[in-house]
Amino acid sequence: MAFLRSRSAQGESRSARRGAPALDPSLVARVRSHHRSFGQTHVLKDVDLDIAPGEFVALLGRSGCGKSTLLRSLAGLDPAPVDEVQVSGRTSVAFQEPRLLPWRDVRENVALALLNAPERAERHRLADERITEVGLSGKSDAWPLQLSGGQAQRVSLARALVSNPSLLLLDEPFSALDALTRIEMHQLVIDLWRRHSMAILIVTHDVDEALALADRLIVLDEGKVADSWQITLPRSDRDHSQPEIARTRSAVLQALGVRPTPPNPNRQTQKQGAA
């Protein structure tokens, strides 16, 4: 399910509550020399990362490079030393699988992220607002088994957004969807990002998806940040014929150890509107 970690009722950062120095207000997340090991396997090694409020970042890398591990550290799902990982405000996560509870309807699944809200009617009102916002008006009373894959992922996004997070973490949320549904979901995420002005970190294996969505692309390799690229073009101009997009795509693929090939026109992402 979408996971919500509320830092406090006032949105206080995790680090501040532990007595660490306050996070720079120009950042929503700060990672410094972050290590993560499982037994003798070192998954993350000296990772540094800053995320600014409202920034859209894509994290790429081969399987096992540590992408999801870093996301879990940022979400507070895995313990991390306070001097290595600092996050300000509320954080929520949507995973590849929507993870909806089959015995609860859509409204109740979304309202799960608001269990601290005192009034059930208020939780339902807020849930219905987000359900409508993700394009599922009229589906509040539906059961998860009645939903398509794309609809279920929209419910997952609604649940992640209902608490108004300052940082939304997306762990390959569109990889199981068909091409047309992915295009629709890309546009939805861009619309929601603009409307709520939150920072987003998306983990993806899809370079073209990252180029279409993000302001900054980061490649992890063997537990370290290998390289990063800033995208300056408006999303409406991010066509593969644009030199900046073509150069960045080639460089990212090379950093991933993949020989660059022309993009498949059947998988090109729809233009996302003006930045």
Architecture of domain 3-101+168-267 in CATH? Answer: 3-Layer(aba) Sandwich (3.40)
pLDDT recorded at residue 6: 38
CA dist 177 and 126 (Å) reads 27
Query: Measured between alpha carbons, how far is residue 234 from residues 22, 212, 218 in Å?
Result: 33, 10, 19
Please tell me the least confidently modeled range out of 113-122, 190-199, 235-244, 246-255.
113-122
Q: What would the pLDDT profile of 121-157 be if each residue is shown by its tens digit? A: 899 999 999 999 999 999 999 999 999 999 999 999 9
Q: Who contacts 201 (Cβ-Cβ below 8 Å, separation ≥6)?
A: 29, 51, 57, 58, 59, 71, 74, 167, 168, 169, 170
Instruction: Please give the structure tokens belonging to residue 187.
Output: 């546009």
Give the DSSP letter string of 100-148.
--TTS-HHHHHHGGGTTSS-HHHHHHHHHHHHHHTT-TT-TT--GGGS-
Query: Mean pLDDT lowest for which of 36-40, 110-114, 134-138, 159-163?
Result: 36-40
Mean pLDDT in residue range 66-95:
90
- pLDDT of 175: 87
- For the chain, give the longest Cα–Cα distance: 55
So what's the pLDDT on residue 7? 36
In tens, the pLDDT along 40-52 reads 788 899 999 999 9
Please tell me the predicted confidence (pLDDT) of residue 78: 86
Amino acid (1-letter code) at residue 93: V
Do residues 213 and 179 lie in contact, with contact meaning Cβ atoms separated by under 8 Å? no
List, edge to edge, every strand of the sheet that includes 3-5: 3-5, 91-94, 167-171, 199-203, 56-61, 216-221, 224-230
Q: CB under 8 Å to 139, separation ≥6 — which residues? A: 106, 131, 147, 151, 155
The residue type found at 7 is R
What number is the average pLDDT over the span 59-71?
A: 91
**Does residue 211 or residue 257 have the better pLDDT?**
211
Per-residue pLDDT at 63: 87
Beta bridge partners of 220: 61, 225
Separation CA 121–CA 182 (nearest Å)? 33
Q: Considering Cα of 219, then 211, then 260, then 176, what sign does the dihedral take?
A: positive
Q: Which pLDDT does position 12 carry in this prediction?
A: 42
Half-sphere exposure of 144 (CA within 13 A, CB side): 16
Q: Enumerate the domain spans of the chain.
A: 3-101+168-267
Please compute the mean of the pLDDT values over residues 28-34 and round it to a whole number. Answer: 93
**267/249: higher pLDDT:** 249
Q: Choose among 90, 68, 85, 104: nearest CA to 12.
A: 90
Query: Percentage of the chain surpassing pLDDT 90?
Result: 61
Give the per-residue pLDDT at 186. Answer: 94
Residue 266 pLDDT exceeds 80 = no
What pLDDT was estimated at residue 115?
A: 72
| Whether 202 contacts 210, CB under 8 Å | yes
